[in-house]
Amino acid sequence: MKKLNILPYLLNLILLLFLLNINCYSQERKLSVYPALGIDLGGATPFPFSDIPDGAGGTPEPYPFLGLGAEYPVSGNWKIAAEVNYRVISFTADADVISQPYYPGDGSKLYFSGETYTDVELRMVEFPLVGIYQLRDSRAVLFGIYYSIILEGTFNTDASDGVINADKSITDNAILPGSADANYDFSEFLDNYDYGILLGYRYKLSDKMNLYGRIQVGFKSIFKPDFDNIDYEMYQVRLNIGASYRIF
């Protein structure tokens, strides 16, 4: 997967926030700017859910995230915020598969039935646009949309204790466990962007500091549209818990 450079996006955002901050002095400093720091728990789930193999399991791995945002009051209890965040989404999954397509690289197509273990990591720059509704002085609900540029991604699957054959009828009816092992590397088929929605809750600790939690759900598969090695689509699902601190 092609790597992208995060630096131009961060520099452009810092410049934009600097210009907005200069402008906010003439508007009684209504605009506030804040860095954010927290933990991401992320993964990807097959859709439709009926396509999840029986006995499949997944484990998200926590990673820290770093962000920068600007918030502006719109009307009454409503505010709007624009952010840029750097995130790492990582998870593992295991499943028993039947007749999973397998391409050994010589132009042929094989099928695998057996046990699989998958390790996935996505590094991204994310641009959320968040609506904030203040319930009380210290509580608010969050909802919005986001767009992510995936800078780098890996999707590796180790297959073991199985049966490999070019005849799908053999792997469909294989007696398991078997003795065959294989490795799938789907990294080149990961797409380089994602978009979706977010919902969350925020608690105000002080005039400057907020704690918040968000759930984010992607609206597109993590794979490129022409990828058909896996029969189902996979969509990002993430939980992030963090704190923000208003610097001006």
214-226 average pLDDT score: 94
In a domain, 229, yes or no: yes
In a domain, 217, yes or no: yes
CA dihedral 213, 24, 206, 244 (to 10 degrees): 30
DSSP state letters, 80-102: EEEEEEEEEEEEEEEEEEEEEEE
- Average the pLDDT over each of 27-36, 85-94, 181-190 and give the range with the smallest value: 27-36
Entry pTM: 0.82
In a domain, 233, yes or no: yes
Q: Which domain holds residue 172?
A: 7-245
Q: What is the CATH number of the domain that holds 74?
A: 2.40.160.20
Enter the DSSP assignment of 155.
Answer: E
Residue-level pLDDT at 46: 81
Distance CA 197, CA 73 (A): 21
How many folded domains does the chain comprise? Answer: 1
In a domain, 130, yes or no: yes
Residue-level pLDDT at 242: 96
Q: In the chain, pLDDT over 70 holds for what percent of residues?
A: 85
Alpha-carbon torsion (158, 159, 164, 166), positive or negative: negative
In a domain, 1, yes or no: no
- Average the pLDDT over each of 51-65, 71-85, 143-157, 192-206 and give the range with the smallest value: 51-65
* Structure confidence by residue, pLDDT tens digits, 109-130: 889 999 999 999 999 999 999 9
In a domain, 25, yes or no: yes
In a domain, 226, yes or no: yes
In a domain, 141, yes or no: yes
Question: E strands within the chain?
Answer: 32-47, 57-61, 63-75, 78-102, 110-134, 139-165, 180-185, 193-204, 209-221, 233-245
Under the banding of pLDDT at 50, 70 and 90, the label for residue 22 is very low
Instruction: Tell whether the model's pLDDT for residue 6 goes beyond 60.
Output: no
